Chain A
Amino acid sequence: MVSMNFPSIPIKTHVVTEKDDIVELTRKYTEGIAFPGDIIAVAESVAAITQGRAILPEKIRPGLIAKLISRFPAKHGSLATPSAMQLAVREVGVLRILLGCAASIFGRLIGAKGYFYIVAGRELALIDDIAGTMWPYEKHIILGPKEPEKIVRSIFEVTGVDAVIADVNDIKCVDILAATSPESERIAKGALIDNPFGNDDQQTPIVVIKQHKF
Chain B
Amino acid sequence: MTDQRFTQITNFWSDVFEKDGRQFSRVAIESTYPLSYQLSSSRANVKMLIKKARANINYSKTEVYDGLISELTVRQNEAENVTTEIALDYDAPFTVNFSEGIPARTFIVFDRMRLYDIFSPLKIVIDPGHGGDDKGGFGPVDLLEKNIALILAEQTKLYLDKYGAQTFLTRESDQKIPLRDRFNFALSNKADLFISLHTHYDKNPEVKGLFVGYNPAAASSEKLAWLIAVEVARKTKRDIREIRRDSHLTALKKIPGVIIEPVTISNYVEEGLLRNPHLYEKVALGIFNGIKGLFDG
Contact = CB atoms under 8 A, between A and B. Distances in A.
Contact of B275 (A9, A131, A202): A131
A98 interface: no
A138 B1 contact: no
B59 interface: yes
Contacts of B33: 214
B5 to A, nearest CB: 7
A9 B272 contact: no
Given A12-B57, A29-B56, A213-B102, A130 B272 contact: yes
Contacts of A7: 101-103
Interface string A50-77: 0000000100000000000010000000
A59 to B, nearest CB: 14
Given A80-B272, A131-B272, A10 B1 contact: no
B272 A214 contact: no
A181 interface: no
Interface in A84-136: 129-132, 134-135
A139 B238 CA distance: 11
A169 interface: no
Nearest to A129: B272
B269 interface: yes
Given A14-B59, A80-B141, A135-B237, A202 B269 contact: no
Contacts of B261: none
Interface in B22-73: 30, 32-33, 54, 56-57, 59
Nearest to B6: A32
Nearest to A30: B56
5 contacts: A28-B56, A32-B32, A131-B273, A131-B276, A214-B32
Given A11-B11, A130-B269, A131-B271, 15 more contacts: A7-B102, A7-B103, A9-B11, A9-B102, A9-B103, A12-B59, A33-B56, A80-B142, A80-B272, A81-B268, A130-B272, A131-B269, A134-B276, A138-B269, A214-B32
